[in-house]
Chains A and B, each alone.
Chain A
Amino acid sequence: EDQVTQSPEALRLQEGESSSLNCSYTVSGLRGLFWYRQDPGKGPEFLFTLYSAGEEKEKERLKATLTKKESFLHITAPKPEDSATYLCAVCGGSNYKLTFGKGTLLTVNP
């Protein structure tokens, strides 16, 4: 059974204070690891897909990295508009079903 654990559950940063969110996973045959952003009252919004260990992807102030056991979402010089819940998910085996973690609630104070 695929499992995803995200840490910390909540993170409060000052504007400009860089940090990282962690996603640890166990999966049989990783087909993809996903990062989503979710704003209050909205559905998850796709950010990145990582397929193999060593892969990195960037978008504005966000950078996602992947190892065989975990993924990190690095946030560089965050702004208040980066405040959201960040979800990690994995897809493994031969199916198309994603298993999600519980998310990290990020708050960036001005």
Chain B
Amino acid sequence: NAGVTQTPKFQVLKTGQSMTLQCAQDMNHNSMYWYRQDPGMGLRLIYYSASEGTTDKGEVPNGYNVSRLNKREFSLRLESAAPSQTSVYFCASSGTGKITLHFGNGTRLTVT
């Protein structure tokens, strides 16, 4: 069981560059989430998708866009990366009516 798969695992960007973080789950879950984790800050919700075709802002959405491509895939895009977006990004999913999150192993992003 792959669970939640994130690509890439590591990425270095220069300020102003763009990139898309990919996430796919094979658990037939309806809801998917993007979190960022920074030292001393804990996990903070960026965007979430309660079901295919819907997306909503979380706690820290500025500078990000998301796309729920289909039930399996939920991508996070940085249009113009900034050093403040240096972080570890985690994708998670949960089943219908469930609130237990299943996490991927993260993408470690550095913006110089």
A residues sitting closer than 8 Å to B (CB atoms) are 4, 31-32, 34, 36, 41-46, 49, 87, 89, 91, 96-98, 100-103
Beta-carbon contact of A97 and B45 below 8 Å: yes
* Chain B contacts for A89, CB-based, 8 A: 43
Task: Please tell me the size bucket of the interface on B.
Answer: 20 to 34
Beta-carbon contact of B94 and A96 below 8 Å: yes
Any A CB within 8 A of the CB of B13:
no
Question: Per DSSP, are chain B's interface residues mostly helix, strand or loop, or mixed?
Answer: strand
B residues sitting closer than 8 Å to A (CB atoms) are 4, 31, 33, 35, 40-45, 48, 50, 58, 90, 92, 94, 99-106
Known contacts A96-B31, A96-B94: does B102 contact A102 (CB below 8 Å)?
no
* Chain A contacts for B43, CB-based, 8 A: 44, 87, 89, 100
Bound-state CA distance A108–B50 (Å) is: 39
Beta-carbon contact of B100 and A49 below 8 Å: yes
Beta-carbon contact of B58 and A97 below 8 Å: yes
Beta-carbon contact of A43 and B104 below 8 Å: yes
Beta-carbon contact of A98 and B101 below 8 Å: yes
Bound-state CA distance A36–B33 (Å) is: 16
